Chain A
């Protein structure tokens, strides 16, 4: 069977769980963006640090809250490796299909967990599972993708739906109606009678 979605690779990687983590990443990045103050000296570097830490904090807080039994940590340091069910995952900011060396790096803990989890010849075993956060020029989150990296190539990329709108790739839409010409806003003088009526209403 061809594997397309994260849950095809491992049943622990459910749509709801991935969406939950993605929402934490969006919230963390946007909270950091709200605190960005260029006048005070913030730049891409300070923002990047803050944004990563805010995301890390939200994930650790969710782990500690115990509200999500499926979410645990392997490494709570700044490297942050956490598990969705039993699958080890990390986060990075950047294009899903252009991972950097640092993104590709796998720790011993992560590799050992993958070995335990997947059968020897399973194609999911030698993947590095990551959340890739793609941002707009202003730092807003454009997309969160759940990625499975084999070497330098992303063999699994699932664009996590951040809103509830269906996609429109196949639809053709409808031609627009004519533009409506609008009159200038009307202004009239109130008569004494209007004013009296208004006062009576009040």
Chain B
């Protein structure tokens, strides 16, 4: 029951977009017409308490969600993902809406916990040389040396980003990052290969470092982020030292590099081409070889490189829950999120509700 607080149509729209529902689809779930729902979103009508209850249940939010003051939502220039001109507006809206909801939860979590300081340097770039320098500078700032990155996940999480998972977003979006006070990196593909995930994380890291306040998603900025990922994971000087030279591509050595650097053979090949260590012909021949041997999606050794899992959000939730059972649910509820919506925007389950029988027990501290 919302009571005397005012129902905000914008909040309804936010939850509906985050769920990826059209007005018609939501109407089907709550037995209402699209025109009526549109009027609610526009603020020209106020819903009944029964309708508020039905909308909250259909969208996986609390009834209070609709009355919460709207924080400034995630805007287009804060959200980095590959947006082709053909990407439907509904997909973009869904990503922005989910980002806004996840951000509202993380903002509250951030106030309750000490999370790593956000330390992504701000390095705008104008040329390829700038991108190479930005990758070197980031490695230097984070004291990573010039060797293989042991865990790309830990690099971004130690730099303060929260890594999460959006379920059920269009296949057109594979990974994205959102530049908020606590940056978020989101995967939308359930199980990418370990190398692919590392590259995606480095790519998003590139956006957060190079594209602050810039609207991205076009080919030029995506290419810049790819180049950053490539340069960050395979530093120029070390790569030149290790890449096998010769008239023919030495696949055994390339796959040894893959195991050592945990970067896909296709990305190693591309790096070699970008640094002009192989010709365009050699690069294309190599790519065709990978394709013909069925390695375009799954490469040799993809199954032996262990996938990196996000740690920050799960361990933050666990720490809070241990210190204060039920606190995570309270924070989620404070942000207006119920189980369904929480899972959609974080890829995680809320901790089970505290056993009602335990509520009258007071833990004795030693």
Provide the A173-193 mask, 1 if CB < 8 A to any CB of B, else 0. Answer: 111111111111111111000
- B244–chain A nearest beta-carbon distance, Å: 12
- B20–chain A nearest beta-carbon distance, Å: 17
Cβ of B236 < 8 Å from any Cβ of A?
yes
Residues of chain B contacted by A37 (CB below 8 angstroms) = 84, 86
- B190–chain A nearest beta-carbon distance, Å: 21
Provide the B108-133 mask, 1 if CB < 8 A to any CB of A, else 0. Answer: 00011111100000000001110010
Q: Which of B6-14, B57-65, B204-212, B283-291 contacts A (4 or more CB under 8 A)?
A: B283-291
Cβ of B241 < 8 Å from any Cβ of A?
yes
Docked Cα-Cα span, A185 to B118, in Å, equals: 12
Instruction: Name the contact of B315 in the complex, choosing from A36, A172, A181, A184 (C-beta under 8 A).
Output: A184
Q: A195–B111 contact, CB under 8 A?
A: yes
Q: B276–A168 contact, CB under 8 A?
A: yes
Instruction: Name the contact of B236 in the complex, choosing from A134, A173, A198 (C-beta under 8 A).
Output: A173
Docked Cα-Cα span, A176 to B139, in Å, equals: 13
Q: Which of A12-20, A73-81, A135-143 contacts B (4 or more CB under 8 A)?
A: A135-143
Cβ of A115 < 8 Å from any Cβ of B?
no
- B117–chain A nearest beta-carbon distance, Å: 10
Cβ of A40 < 8 Å from any Cβ of B?
yes
Residues of chain B contacted by A175 (CB below 8 angstroms) = 238, 241
Q: A176–B241 contact, CB under 8 A?
A: yes
Residues of chain A contacted by B353 (CB below 8 angstroms) = none
Cβ of B149 < 8 Å from any Cβ of A?
yes
Q: B235–A189 contact, CB under 8 A?
A: no
Residues of chain B contacted by A159 (CB below 8 angstroms) = 280
Task: Give A15-60 interface residues, CB cut-off 8 Å to B.
Answer: 30-31, 33-37, 39-40
Q: A36–B127 contact, CB under 8 A?
A: no
- A195–chain B nearest beta-carbon distance, Å: 7
The answer to whether residues A185 and B240 also contact, given A163-B127, A168-B276, A179-B150 and a CB cut-off of 8 A, is: no
Cβ of B281 < 8 Å from any Cβ of A?
yes
- A23–chain B nearest beta-carbon distance, Å: 12
Cβ of A169 < 8 Å from any Cβ of B?
yes
Task: Give B176-209 interface residues, CB cut-off 8 Å to A.
Answer: none
Q: Which of B66-74, B153-161, B341-349, B355-363 contacts A (4 or more CB under 8 A)?
A: B153-161
Docked Cα-Cα span, A40 to B84, in Å, equals: 13
Q: A187–B312 contact, CB under 8 A?
A: yes
Cβ of B253 < 8 Å from any Cβ of A?
no
Q: B238–A179 contact, CB under 8 A?
A: no
Instruction: Name the contact of B132 in the complex, choosing from A31, A165, A181, A182 (C-beta under 8 A).
Output: A165
Provide the B253-292 mask, 1 if CB < 8 A to any CB of A, else 0. Answer: 0000000000000000000010111001101100100010
Q: B154–A184 contact, CB under 8 A?
A: yes
Q: B241–A173 contact, CB under 8 A?
A: yes
Instruction: Name the contact of B154 in the complex, choosing from A143, A163, A171, A182 (C-beta under 8 A).
Output: A182
Provide the A117-160 mask, 1 if CB < 8 A to any CB of B, else 0. Answer: 00000000000000000101100101100000000000000010
Cβ of A95 < 8 Å from any Cβ of B?
yes
Q: B238–A142 contact, CB under 8 A?
A: no
Residues of chain B contacted by A174 (CB below 8 angstroms) = 146, 237-238, 241
Provide the B3-24 mask, 1 if CB < 8 A to any CB of A, else 0. Answer: 0000000000000000000000
Q: Which 6 A-B pairs have the closest CB atoms?
A: A173-B240, A173-B241, A177-B145, A176-B238, A163-B128, A188-B114
Add 13 more A-B contacts to A180-B150, A185-B311 (CB < 8 A).
A39-B86, A136-B284, A137-B291, A164-B128, A164-B129, A172-B241, A173-B240, A174-B146, A174-B241, A178-B145, A185-B116, A186-B116, A189-B114
